[in-house]
Each structure stands twice: as structure tokens, then as C-alpha cells.
Amino acid sequence: MHLHHAGRTLIAAAALALLSSPALADGDPARGRTLAYACMGCHGIENYKNAYPKYSVPKLGGQSAAYVAAALANYQAGARWHPTMTGLASSLSAQDRADLGAYFAGMAAVQPAAQPAGTAPAAAAACAACHGADGVGTLPENPTLAGQHADYLVQALNDYRTGKRNNAIMSGFASQLTPADIRAIAAYYARQPGLVTPRLR
């Protein structure tokens, strides 16, 4: 009885925390579209590459709005670092981040697949609770990996391992993966239907 009550109180507290989270501010996709002009020179070009090190610029079309907003906040806060992204994110307000998230998220309907393509590598079993068996994030804060560029996923996992990218959960998971696991996991998620390269329309 007592436990039951405590559980309910916890759930209520968690719900309140979610409601007051800035990442869940309502985004205006039309305003996001205007802001996104500044992004398309890289994100809007199919297979565009970052230089030194060379890897694909991540796909944003269909990505979770809350995750896009959080990623931009992380560049601003220094939990992630990339010369261009950190510079661009530094001038964005919370409303800008929410609007950009709403715009990119609305670009493709990404749904969990009834049947993932191919067989998941054994090491991906540890990822499914948050990223889905087929790479479609199970909660708004968990990024969708389905359809993302494989070389970007490899880069991200290595950045968590080396600490260039700072996230307590993901640093723990990434540090348990071998380079072969990382390649297999990245190839598996990349081949699932999901994220798309955004196009202004």
C-alpha cells in the first residue's frame, strides 16, 4: 500500500518534471522553416561530408523534435563540440531550438517497423530499450538512429568513447563496444527505413 502510494507520487513528480522541461516547449514549424535556411547548406545536401575528420553530416528529417532541441542546447552548453555547430547554436534561443525541432521532426513520419531489415547484431540488444529494435527512438529524448548515415553513427559512438561528446548514459554504453561492434551496429541502424535528408519546401 505504502509502496503503491510512493510509486504514484514518483510518477506524478516525473510527469511534472516533463511538463516543465524546456525541451518540450511547443515548437512552431513554420518559424523553424525560416530559421532552417541557415542549416541547409550542409544538412540539406544529400551525403554532404564534414571535413577533418571526414564523416557524413547527420540527417535531421524525421528526427525527434525534443532531441534536435536538446542537441542544439548541448552544443551551446559545450557538452558537444563542433566548430560550426557550436557557433550557430550559440545564438539560438530556447524557442528557436523548439521551432527548428518541430520543423525537422515534421519532415518525415518515422514509425517503428513491424519487421526490422536484416538481423540485429548481438551488441545492439543493449540499445533497443531506448533506441528501439529498429533504431526508432522509444521516447522523445532518445534520438532515432534508423536511416542515419553509418559513418556518422560510428563517429558519434567514438566521440562518446573518447569523451569528446559528453553524455553519462551513452558514454557508459559506448565504452562497452568494440570497434567491430560499432561498425556492425552502425551498418544495421543505417539500413533501416527512417531519417531523411531535409529539403526546404
Pick the closer one to ligand HEC by CB: 1 or 97: 97
Does residue 157 bind ligand HEC (CB under 6 A)?
A: yes
22 in Cβ contact with 104 (< 8 Å): no
**Minimum Å distance from CB 16 to ligand HEC?**
20
Only one of the segments 8-16, 22-30, 111-119, 152-160 lies at the binding site for ligand HEC (rule: CB under 6 A); that segment is 152-160
92 in Cβ contact with 25 (< 8 Å): no
> What burial class does residue 78 get, using C-beta atoms within 10 Å of its C-beta: 0-12 exposed, 13-18 middle, 19+ buried?
exposed
Q: How far is CA 33 from CA 41, 48, 71, 79, 197, in A?
A: 14, 20, 18, 26, 14
198 in Cβ contact with 36 (< 8 Å): yes
The CA distance from 198 to 59, in Å, is 7
The CA distance from 36 to 145, in Å, is 21
**Minimum Å distance from CB 1 to ligand HEC?**
30
Closest CA to 153 of 115, 112, 192, 122: 192
Give the sign of the dihedral formed by CA 181, CA 155, CA 192, CA 48. Answer: negative
Only one of the segments 11-19, 21-29, 74-82, 113-121 lies at the binding site for ligand HEC (rule: CB under 6 A); that segment is 74-82
Per-residue contact string for residues 86-125; x = within reach of ligand HEC by CB under 6 A: --x-----------x-------------------------
**Minimum Å distance from CB 109 to ligand HEC?**
18
Per-residue contact string for residues 7-46; x = within reach of ligand HEC by CB under 6 A: -------------------------------xx-xxx---
**Minimum Å distance from CB 9 to ligand HEC?**
23
Residues at the interface with ligand HEC (CB under 6 A): 38-39, 41-43, 50, 57-58, 60, 68, 70-72, 74, 80, 82, 84-85, 88, 100, 126-127, 129-131, 141-143, 145, 153, 155-157, 165, 167, 169-170, 173, 177, 185
